[in-house]
């Protein structure tokens, strides 16, 4: 066990429950797809502030790309996994499988 209570081999950025849920949800999309912030919030049943905080942590790690656009006269925020985020999630899954035997 590492000092931050994340088992050795598991990425601590992804390992937090909320970030794991975000990452797993975005990983289920095709590599070129993305979700709007409200849809992601709805799927995960998270508050806007909580989701924003975890998206920022994932974005700072280079795992998630958050983009803002305008559709008609409304601003829309999208979230998608980056290629690095997909690799990190796959490595996380493999490490977890190894831990579980």
What average pLDDT does the structure give for the chain? 91
pLDDT one-digit tens code per residue, 79-88: 999 999 999 9
The predicted pLDDT at position 68 comes to: 94
Contact 89, 23 (CB under 8 A): yes
pLDDT one-digit tens code per residue, 31-74: 999 999 999 999 999 999 999 999 999 999 999 999 999 888 88
In order, the DSSP letters of 1-24 are --TTSPPTTS-HHHHSHHHHHHHH
Set out the domains of the chain in order of their start, with CATH numbers: 12-100 (1.10.10.10)
Contact 21, 15 (CB under 8 A): no
């Amino acid at each position: 066990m590492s000092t931050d209570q994340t088992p050795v081999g598991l990425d601590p950025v992804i390992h937090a429950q909320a970030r794991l849920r975000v990452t797993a949800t975005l990983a289920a999309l095709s590599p070129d797809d993305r979700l709007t912030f409200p849809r992601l919030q709805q799927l995960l049943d998270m508050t806007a502030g909580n989701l924003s905080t975890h998206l920022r942590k994932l974005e700072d790690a280079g795992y998630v790309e958050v983009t803002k656009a305008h559709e008609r006269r409304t601003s829309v925020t999208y979230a998608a996994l980056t290629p690095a985020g997909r690799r990190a999630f796959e490595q996380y899954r493999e490490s977890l499988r190894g831990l579980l035997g």
